[in-house]
Structure 1
């Protein structure tokens, strides 16, 4: 009989339509090889209940609470929620994950089961730590949350937003440090993240570097032809601000300087704001919104662009591109935490001029694209294949139990 793990995460990790969900789903699937997994999470609306079936076969039980966490219905609702969070010890982005029904689900599971470990997926869900206060708690940090917020404040021009952001950052940093200390083991994605946690005073011995691991069931077949337009792909949910910020920078600074006779741009991802939608013209700029199958766009495009300037952790979209055979051009921050060699398995560009020049280079030398694609796929097989994940997670759990 398998031991049981209680897995607490923010959103139901299905369908697999963003990087966070993909990482979480693969983690649950890998854990299920050795353990029975009980999952508690949120869904954004009642229609999402049908997606619980996506975890059938890998989770023993899935319990959900319906709450819209992605964005407030209106600014008024957001402002009310934000003011409420100011009255608590929790930062806004943590406080919004508190819900009495979620608390009841956790308490019910704890009273009726004996768990080998508690797996907390995302820092925000540690808001419930006092309920289980479990020495065998694993905290899976998808990002260094306080670092993301610090970079966000630094990129903000509004004095008011900077002031409010400073309050939020102080509370978030305090919460993050406290929860990192309380967790028995911490998982992060890269050496960079590990160093950030150590600078926050966390013992290196409890920090496990575990890169994102993916399955590779699809690989791009279509090869670009020199006579066709060079097709660029930006992939990512617009609910995540760094994606909005990055593609807006690209459109305003790089895209305007490219010769449109030779280029076409696909912006693929859910919830694009009007500031991005306005660029859609159906000719050389396509803003798709949510799509069922991103492979359709990977197949038709020549290169994936990752112009990110905010964030931490690891970009699933880059590892996914490595796996699926589409070359990548990214900023240093976009590729932060990844194992790569610039110019061999990825192209790094941090300025407007770099992006323009590197795109022109590969557009005129399609053979370079083939070399990038091959090297990136070899990188994926060596470092990010999901076949290695179960054993690595098992070791972390055993370390947690001492």
Structure 2
């Protein structure tokens, strides 16, 4: 089977949740015997050497596209009553550009990563009569809606964000309805997708972890009273989450455990995080290898209050044998509980209490880490979840061929 994979970004190196999801789907498509033509949109030129480094035995092409959220663009889409999230990833000549890169006569199925790739995928599907699948990494409108609901009553952003989530909700409903199949990442997202489009074909194919790569070493020394978070700070909700923890939880922990440390890993952390160094915050920024930091740390934190889908970094932390203390929002879509190493905390008091329990009980912490690893092995491998997509795509292709006879 030959798959055209359309992505809103070049997903390499796979160093944040969004890239990790797309990259591993690509690799598993290849690993499980398919041919793949990936076409990625990118704000920046990508060197051919980078493409060669990551493409393996597939094909990767780049379409440069300016998707920066400028003030002019925001005002323009607001006045036009159009979705910023969808429209900025589409141009009138996009179909022609894809056709110049890929021989569409060879393609059996189109795979669109994220809702903002659905418009062009569906246009190609209609033109070439090729089945299309939509990977719902998130129910995107819901992220915008949650952001809207968190804004103050008199915040001027409410007008724009309110407009945008409603526009996006309508578009996502249409995209899910028009796609031959949609792959939700969680049970909850499947329910939400069917609320948008009750007659749609929606199947759960969760996110995963390469369990051979993300393997813990329980013999490595764990720094006492150590915490870690790894994320990307290009998304301001992640900045707000860490800032909340630094302002509210870390001071409490520092008063009880003067040697507490929090390693902050990820691209573009704001300079304000440096102000918390005396409390134990260590702003590391981007690192090539996250795993050594996971191996040497006792607890992973995920204090996000706005989001959707599934947090792949939480899955990776659990796979590395780290107990995770997370808000309900961060833990959404992961069917693990406290006994499996995923501990939920939604207030300052809950967060400081749960982390203290783990700091104070080495036996409990290690046991929960081992159970966390077992949970990932049983439920969240890329191989098993991408296999679900391949099976469904094979059915669609076979059905198309049968109808053609």
* TM score, norm. by length of structure 2: 0.89
Alpha-carbon distance, 1:88 to partner: 4.5
Matches within 5 A, 1:159-238: 159-203=155-199, 206-216=201-211, 217-221=213-217, 229-238=224-233
Instruction: Tell whether 2:338 aligns with 1:342.
Output: yes
Matches within 5 A, 1:2-401: 3-32=1-30, 33-47=32-46, 49-59=48-58, 61-67=59-65, 69=67, 71-72=68-69, 78-88=70-80, 90-99=82-91, 102-109=94-101, 112-128=104-120, 129-133=122-126, 134=129, 136-157=131-152, 159-203=155-199, 206-216=201-211, 217-221=213-217, 229-258=224-253, 259=255, 261-275=258-272, 277-279=273-275, 281=277, 284-401=280-397
Q: Higher mean Cα deviation, 280-289 or 361-370? A: 280-289
| Partners of 1:203 and 1:152 in 2: CA distance | 28
| Partners of 1:294 and 1:309 in 2: CA distance | 23
| Partners of 1:98 and 1:316 in 2: CA distance | 27
Q: Which runs of 5+ in 1 are unaligned?
A: 73-77
Deviations 1:304-357 (A, max 9, x none): 001111111111011111212222111111111112122432111111111011
| Partners of 1:273 and 1:114 in 2: CA distance | 46
> Contact 2:3–2:35 at 8 Å: present in 1 too?
yes
Alpha-carbon distance, 1:101 to partner: 6.0
* TM score, norm. by length of structure 1: 0.90
Q: Which runs of 5+ in 2 are unaligned?
A: 400-405
| Partners of 2:349 and 2:238 in 1: CA distance | 20
User: Which secondary structure state, in structure 1, belongs to the residue aligned with residue 134 of structure 2?
Assistant: strand
> Contact 1:144–1:196 at 8 Å: present in 2 too?
yes
- Cα distance change, pair 34–224 in 1 and its aligned pair in 2 (3 A): closer
Alpha-carbon distance, 1:303 to partner: 0.8
Deviations 1:197-242 (A, max 9, x none): 12113336x111011122122423256879x541111110012233
| Partners of 1:207 and 1:31 in 2: CA distance | 20
The aligned residue for residue 402 of structure 2 is none
| Partners of 1:223 and 1:279 in 2: CA distance | 34
Task: Quote the RMSD (CA, aligned, Å).
Answer: 2.3
Deviations 1:143-167 (A, max 9, x none): 0101111111111225210111111
| Partners of 1:265 and 1:135 in 2: CA distance | 49
Q: How many residues align?
A: 390
Q: Higher mean Cα deviation, 325-334 or 185-194? A: 325-334
| Partners of 2:94 and 2:268 in 1: CA distance | 26
